[in-house]
């Protein structure tokens, strides 16, 4: 694990964005752990979050993309803060995001921000994907706007769960759309960190029952 990845896990715990309990994902799965980027509340938190995304992007893609795209709604602040972080690091790129409904007045259209052009290499910035549902909704919107190339997909956490088949959702998306997919951290890295740092002030108490529910959930939905 890289230093920035360990720092990101600490950040998730300190901000409360990573929580444990009983939750329902967009795909309908009942999960004992949940990542909620809606819990980032301050400018300083968003600034740090953008830095984490930027570091992961540079580590995986370098500067091999032209535009960042954030799916509404949670992807909007993510794509903005990531673009700002990249600009601070010397890579100033365009960004855009979509509306939930097409605007029929003013400038109109579905997208806000950079106007996509044929040949643009678009990197999708998302919070998390469980089964790949949101990305399969996003890609047709991009391709309906221009003949773009998909430079990749970055998520904050790879839940390492099955998508539509037995393989991981990120693996399926990578093959389906011929693009690299990668996270800042994986759930394996998070769980290993929680075990290694057990008892630290910023690490939540993990009961035996919670660990058992996590293991049962991953046995049921984990990628083969």
Residues 124-176 have pLDDT tens digits of: 999 988 777 888 989 999 999 999 999 999 999 998 988 788 888 899 999 99
Peptide bond into 127 cis (omega under 30): no
Residue 26 is a catalytic residue = no
The pair of three-digit structure tokens given for residue 79, joined into one six-digit string: 């794509």
Catalytic residue among 100, 103, 115, 202: 103
User: 3-221 domain in CATH 3.40.50.2020?
Assistant: yes
Domain ranges of the chain: 3-221
Coil, strand, or helix at residue 98? strand
Q: Return the closest-CA partner of residue 4 out of 48, 70, 37, 38.
A: 48
The pair of three-digit structure tokens given for residue 224, joined into one six-digit string: 């083969």
Q: How many CA atoms lie within 13 A of 181 on its CB side?
A: 23
Catalytic residue among 26, 105, 202, 224: 105
For residue range 94-118, list pLDDT tens digits in order: 999 998 665 554 454 688 999 999 9
- Mean pLDDT (the chain) is 91
Residues of the chain with pLDDT > 90, as a percent, come to 68
Residue 114 is a catalytic residue = no
Strands (E), the chain: 18-24, 30-35, 67-70, 94-103, 109-113, 121-125, 128-129, 149-158, 181-186
């Amino acid at each position: 694990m890289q230093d920035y990845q360990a720092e990101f896990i600490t950040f998730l715990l300190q901000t409360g964005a990573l929580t444990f309990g009983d939750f329902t994902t967009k795909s309908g799965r009942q999960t004992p752990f949940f990542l909620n980027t809606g819990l980032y509340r301050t400018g300083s938190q968003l600034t740090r979050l953008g830095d984490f995304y930027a570091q992961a992007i540079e580590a995986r893609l370098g500067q091999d993309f032209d535009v960042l795209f954030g799916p509404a709604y949670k992807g909007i602040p993510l794509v903005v803060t990531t673009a700002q972080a990249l600009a601070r690091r010397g890579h100033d790129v365009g960004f855009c995001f979509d509306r939930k409904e097409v605007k029929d007045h003013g400038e109109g259209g579905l997208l806000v921000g950079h106007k996509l052009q044929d040949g643009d290499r678009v990197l999708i910035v998302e919070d998390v994907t469980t089964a790949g549902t949101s990305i399969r909704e996003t890609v047709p919107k991009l391709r309906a706007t221009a003949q773009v190339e998909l430079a990749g997909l970055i998520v904050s956490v790879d839940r390492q769960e099955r998508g539509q088949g037995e393989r991981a959702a990120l693996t399926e998306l990578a093959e389906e759309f011929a693009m690299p997919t990668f996270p800042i951290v994986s759930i394996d890295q998070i769980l290993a960190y929680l075990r290694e740092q057990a008892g630290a002030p910023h690490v939540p108490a993990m009961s035996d029952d919670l660990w058992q529910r996590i293991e049962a959930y991953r046995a049921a939905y984990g990628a083969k």
